[in-house]
């Protein structure tokens, strides 16, 4: 494959193992992709708003890592320097539009072709500050590498991704190349993919520089690297990795469904009713045919390079400046002890130093500071030749394990005079408290003197302790201050839990509370519960126990404007984790990491790590997924979400159901660790029309009795209903309405009521005590009857309730109710309020109602849809729903009036009339245009007319006429005029 970026493409290559051109694929509907696009769009908009001069040449330092199989330089994969220099020239030409074939850009795209104004320079210094050619050579541990070997490849040799674009050149299988996409380290993405150790670009050695003899399906001229670096800087394939319905988020790259792999078109091409940009560097055409980036692609890459973590730092990398070369230069190279995750209070400090100077050093000073106090000065007297390494031993020291400590090592004079380069003279390591606290551990931040925070930032961390109302207004909590903190975008701010002695404990759990809200769901803040296996030296992102980012992070149903402060306990969420499977890990330590997405403040409180009295074998049903409240089918496929609450692993269990006198169960073979969860599918196939009670069961962990069977059974109700209506509809709920009310967990609080004498559905929230349950009001199946457009209009009423967190969602299903795929309306708490009336609310006049309008045209392409009004009760107030209407027009063309008929234009100069009806109920009608003598000039017959717009055409007429609409319950007549 040519490229990967941890996604994929396709291009077989003759003569070598079949490879796809690129392994970078993007799902346009993927949440991470959409959030990245929102972030990137905001950066581009910000740049435009500031009217920044955007003609600055941006330079990226690169290092080519040649991973070979032991061949001499210039043979096989051990490419010679000239091939690398040729490739670098091609890369710079392509990213400055000075490529010789720029003139070959098809005329249709010349106007949008643009220079990214980005250049690439071989690094001048290595991570240690020593001179480098920007090319390294390493014998690989594997003869060839696949995408699954990505981490292995990059572990062969790695330079810090913050300062270098690492380009790995090796023999690949499966793809020609791949690249890390910048969203892998944007705070707030759904998954934590911030591993700096795998940042970079990978290219098959045969496709570096000019190499017409690749044996592949096209001649290589270095455009594979251009393509992959485009991904590294945030570009997507120009066909959007899909058909004509998806795009690459650039308006100046036309929609396309073709990638032109193995092709080099010589004429204009089109696959989506527009010219395909086959010559774009982000297509799959042969290298010979690639020749342009567009203006939008330029904007995307420059926005990423000036804003994204581990991209913007490249522009100020020390690798771009020549190394310092002076006579006397002893530098602190590495702290050997103490390690970041030191767990012992007795420490033997060790510092590794190197002579970076051009002259031999005979003596130098090394100092140790602990918590900013000088502890020891070592006068080291030994001949140290240029580039030689020495280890400095400091005296053993015992630190107070109850507190955090900063160790700082500093190089002083060299040969009795000043060191001539002070940029490498000091190194610091910050140690968390090393005391092993007895279990249980609790931190409520009311006395925060023992709280230990750590940040990845070079500045002070953004954690503080302050007031955060909960059960008490003066409650104290830790606060990650991310509101309007854009300078630290992407940084991690960490609360490190102390060492807790869990010796002899069979089971344990960790819990904490947090609160968060923001003004937009696309913000990127996040929380991760991570674990360390080295006493806190590192918290591997692959070892996280929990993560939430963006909109999923919010603990309040209402968004906030300004800096978020929790109001009371309802704004907080408590999370609990079974850590029993981790108790055997030596040097285990936990951290709660806040990711700064420049969104809003995150509050953290009540951290508890404690032993628990778990049973050995204890399975429980956490929830039931994919079990519809209302469906058309007598067969459903729920998923039973099961959790292992015991402290032993479970390798088998039984899961089943009971419904309408039938019992069925299946045996499941698994590896469910303590605290683990999994979803098991079931097929329930014996439902009947009407309400069904379905009992889901789990039993027999490891073939034995469950030691706690209280959570082994869950009862849910499923309503099978196939009643249908044809759109459009107007529903006032008087008479036979065919809507279904249900609560899958119990009794529903929906019922018909007559506030102010008008029939409406009421959810009795003021007196119900079933907090948190969902109450469903579901429409019959709605046949769209080939409508092109649709607008939902309904009225709602809800009384003021200061502390309520009641919720109303209006949802739509295109699967007859099996799944409600999208939420159209979502109101919670104060957003529900339509009237300033508390208590047992009843709307007594029209002013207390709110009308809601939603365009549902995009669902009209489905033959049958279903609507649901889902009220989540929190003992707040009563909710009323009435006058649900669906119009056969889009919301922007909706025509509202009180009369039963409206004709426009009237008079008509052309003889064409629009007749919009507003009938009280559906009626089969005949619409006629009559002259004054009663003669029919034109007519239409329409079945089930209600609120539609119809057209009467009578061109060439001149004068006054009558327009008549008659049906079984309709008799309307109005004068119309036509003619010039």
| Residues linked to residue 214 through DSSP beta bridges, in sequence order | none
Distance CA 787, CA 367 (A): 81
Cα separation, 140 vs 559, in Å, equals: 52
According to the model, what pLDDT value does residue 15 have? 31
Q: Which of 489, 698, 705 is nearest to 598 (CA)?
A: 489
For residues 176 and 820, give the distance between their C-alpha atoms in angstroms, rounded to a whole number.
42
- In angstroms, the CA 498 to CA 502 distance is 12
- Rounded-to-integer distance, Cα 401 and Cα 434, Å: 5
* Predicted local confidence at residue 809, as pLDDT: 94
What one-character-per-residue DSSP string does 365-403 give? EEEEEETTEEEEEEEEEEEE-TT-EEEEEPPPEE--TTS
- Residue 853 host element (H or E): strand 850-855
How far is it, in rounded angstroms, from Cα 708 to Cα 710?
A: 6
- The CA distances from residue 237 to 2, 37, 43, 409, 970, in Å, are 12, 14, 21, 49, 58
Nearest to 710 by CA among 699, 721, 701, 723: 699
Helix ranges restricted to H, 477-554:
none
Distance CA 181, CA 159 (A): 18
Tokens, residue 821: 């795929």
Determine how β-strand 165-170 pairs with β-strand 201-204: parallel
667: Cβ contacts below 8 Å, ≥ 6 apart: 652, 653, 654
Pairing mode of beta strands 619-625, 639-644: antiparallel
pLDDT for 459 = 41
Query: Given this model, what pLDDT does residue 865 score?
Result: 92
Distance of CA 786 to the CA centre of its chain: 36
pLDDT for 3: 47
- Which of the 8 DSSP states describes residue 148? G
Q: Is 228 part of the annotated catalytic residue set?
A: yes
Surface-to-core class of residue 180, CB atoms within 10 Å of its CB (0-12 exposed, 13-18 middle, 19+ buried): buried
**Catalytic member of 228, 485, 491, 648:** 228
CA–CA distance, 406 with 428 (Å, rounded to integer): 7
Peptide bond into 297 cis (omega under 30): no
Count CA atoms within 13 Å of residue 150 on its CB side: 25
Radius of gyration over every alpha carbon of the chain, rounded to an integer in angstroms: 35
Question: Model's pTM, two decimal places?
Answer: 0.58
Residues 762 and 878: beta-carbon distance below 8 Å: yes
Closest CA to 713 of 664, 660, 655: 655
Tokens representing 902 are 């409206």
Taken in order 247, 252, 257, 262, is the CA torsion positive or negative?
negative
Q: Name the DSSP class of 780.
A: P
Q: Are 768 and 875 in contact (CB under 8 A)?
A: yes
Question: How wide is the angle at C-alpha 490 spanned by C-alphas 489 and 495, nearest 5°?
Answer: 110
Low-confidence spans in the chain with pLDDT less than 70: 1-54, 183-195, 213-217, 448-452, 454-461, 486-490, 520-523, 540-543, 768-771, 802-803, 980
């Amino acid at each position: 494959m040519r490229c990967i970026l941890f996604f994929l493409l396709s291009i077989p290559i003759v003569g070598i193992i079949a490879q796809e051109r690129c392994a970078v694929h993007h799902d346009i509907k993927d949440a991470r992709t959409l959030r990245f696009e929102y972030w990137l769009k905001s950066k581009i908009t910000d740049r435009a708003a500031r009217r920044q001069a955007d003609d600055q040449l941006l330079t990226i330092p690169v290092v080519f890592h040649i991973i070979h199989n032991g061949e001499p330089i210039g043979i096989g994969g051990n490419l010679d320097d000239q091939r690398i220099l040729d490739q670098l020239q091609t890369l710079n030409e392509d990213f400055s539009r000075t490529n010789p074939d720029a003139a070959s850009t098809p005329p249709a795209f010349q106007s949008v072709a643009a220079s990214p104004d980005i250049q690439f320079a071989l690094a001048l210094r290595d991570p240690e500050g020593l001179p480098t050619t920007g090319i390294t050579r390493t014998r690989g541990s594997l003869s060839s590498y696949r995408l699954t070997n990505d981490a292995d490849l990059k572990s062969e040799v790695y330079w810090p991704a913050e300062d270098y674009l690492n380009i790995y050149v090796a023999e690949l299988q499966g793809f020609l190349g791949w690249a890390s996409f910048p969203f892998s380290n944007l705070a707030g993405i759904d998954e934590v993919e911030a591993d700096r150790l795998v940042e970079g670009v990978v290219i098959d050695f045969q496709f570096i520089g000019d190499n017409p003899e690749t044996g592949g399906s096209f001649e290589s001229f270095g455009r594979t690297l251009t393509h992959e670096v485009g991904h590294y800087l945030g570009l997507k394939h120009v066909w959007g990795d899909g058909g004509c319905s998806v795009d690459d988020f650039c308006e100046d790259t036309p929609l396309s469904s073709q990638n032109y792999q193995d092709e080099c078109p010589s004429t204009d091409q089109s696959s989506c009713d527009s010219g395909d940009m086959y010559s774009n560097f982000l297509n799959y055409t042969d290298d010979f045919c690639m020749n342009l980036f567009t203006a939008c692609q330029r904007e995307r890459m420059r926005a990423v390079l000036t804003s994204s973590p581990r991209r913007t730092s490249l522009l100020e990398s020390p690798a771009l400046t020549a190394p310092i070369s002076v006579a006397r230069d002893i530098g602190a190279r590495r702290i050997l002890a103490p390690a970041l995750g030191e767990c012992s209070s007795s420490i033997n400090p060790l510092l590794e130093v190197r002579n970076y100077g051009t002259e031999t050093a005979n003596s130098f000073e090394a100092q140790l500071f602990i918590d900013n106090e000088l502890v020891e000065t070592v006068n080291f007297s030994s001949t140290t030749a240029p580039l030689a390494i020495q280890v400095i031993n400091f005296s053993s020291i015992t630190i107070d394990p109850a507190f955090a400590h900063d160790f700082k090592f500093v190089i002083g004079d060299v040969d009795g005079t000043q060191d001539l380069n002070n940029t490498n003279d000091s190194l610091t390591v910050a140690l968390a408290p090393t005391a092993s606290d007895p279990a249980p551990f609790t931190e409520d931040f009311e006395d925060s003197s023992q709280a230990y925070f750590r940040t990845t930032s070079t500045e002070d961390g953004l954690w503080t302790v302050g007031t955060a109302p909960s059960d008490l207004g003066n409650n104290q909590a830790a606060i990650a201050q991310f509101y309007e903190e854009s300078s630290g975008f992407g940084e991690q701010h960490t609360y490190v839990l102390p060492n807790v002695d869990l010796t002899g404990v069979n089971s344990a759990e960790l819990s904490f509370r947090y609160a968060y809200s923001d003004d937009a769901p696309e913000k990127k803040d996040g929380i991760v519960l991570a674990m360390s296996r080295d006493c806190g030296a590192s918290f591997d992102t692959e070892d996280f126990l929990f993560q939430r980012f963006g909109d999923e992070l919010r603990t309040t149903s209402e968004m906030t404007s300004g800096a978020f402060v929790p109001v009371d306990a309802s704004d907080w969420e408590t999370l609990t984790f079974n850590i029993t499977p981790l108790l055997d890990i030596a040097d285990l330590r936990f951290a709660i990491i806040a990711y700064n997405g420049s969104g809003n403040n995150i509050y953290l409180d009540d951290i508890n790590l404690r032993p628990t009295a778990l049973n050995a074998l204890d399975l429980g049903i956490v929830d039931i997924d994919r079990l519809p409240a209302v469906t058309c089918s007598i067969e459903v496929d729920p998923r039973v979400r099961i959790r292992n609450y015991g402290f032993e692993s479970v390798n088998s269990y039984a899961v089943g159901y009971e419904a309408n006198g039938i019992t069925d169960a299946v045996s499941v073979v698994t590896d469910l660790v303590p605290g683990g969860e999994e979803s098991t599918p079931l097929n329930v196939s014996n439902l009947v029309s009407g309400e069904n009670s379905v009992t889901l069961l789990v039993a027999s962990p490891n073939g034995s009795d469950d030691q706690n069977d209280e959570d082994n059974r869950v009862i849910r109700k499923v309503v099978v209903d196939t009643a249908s209506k044809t759109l459009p509809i107007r529903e006032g709920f008087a008479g036979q309405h065919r809507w279904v009310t249900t609560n899958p967990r119990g009794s529903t609080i929906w019922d018909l009521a007559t506030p102010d004498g008008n029939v409406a559905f009421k959810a009795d929230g003021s007196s119900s005590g079933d907090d948190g349950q969902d109450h469903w009001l579901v429409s019959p199946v709605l046949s769209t009857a080939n409508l092109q457009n649709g607008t939902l209009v309904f009225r709602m009423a809800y009384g003021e309730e200061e502390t309520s967190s009641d919720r109303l969602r209006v949802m739509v299903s295109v699967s007859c109710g099996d799944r409600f795929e999208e939420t159209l309306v979502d109101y919670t708490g104060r957003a529900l309020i339509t009237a300033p009336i508390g208590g047992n609310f009843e709307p007594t006049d029209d002013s207390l109602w709110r009308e809601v309008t939603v365009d549902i045209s995009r669902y009209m392409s489905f033959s049958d849809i279903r609507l649901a009004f889902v009220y989540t009760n929190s003992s707040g107030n009563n909710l009323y729903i009435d006058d649900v209407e669906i119009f056969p027009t889009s919301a922007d063309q909706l025509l509202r009036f009180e009369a039963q008929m409206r004709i426009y234009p009237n008079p008509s100069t052309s003889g064409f009339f629009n007749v919009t009806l507003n009938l009280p109920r559906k009626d089969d009608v005949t619409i006629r245009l009559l002259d004054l003598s009663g003669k029919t000039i034109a007519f239409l017959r329409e079945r089930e007319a209600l609120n539609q717009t119809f057209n009467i055409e009578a061109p060439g007429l001149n004068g006054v006429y009558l327009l008549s609409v008659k049906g079984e319950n309709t008799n309307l007549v109005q004068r119309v005029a036509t003619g010039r």
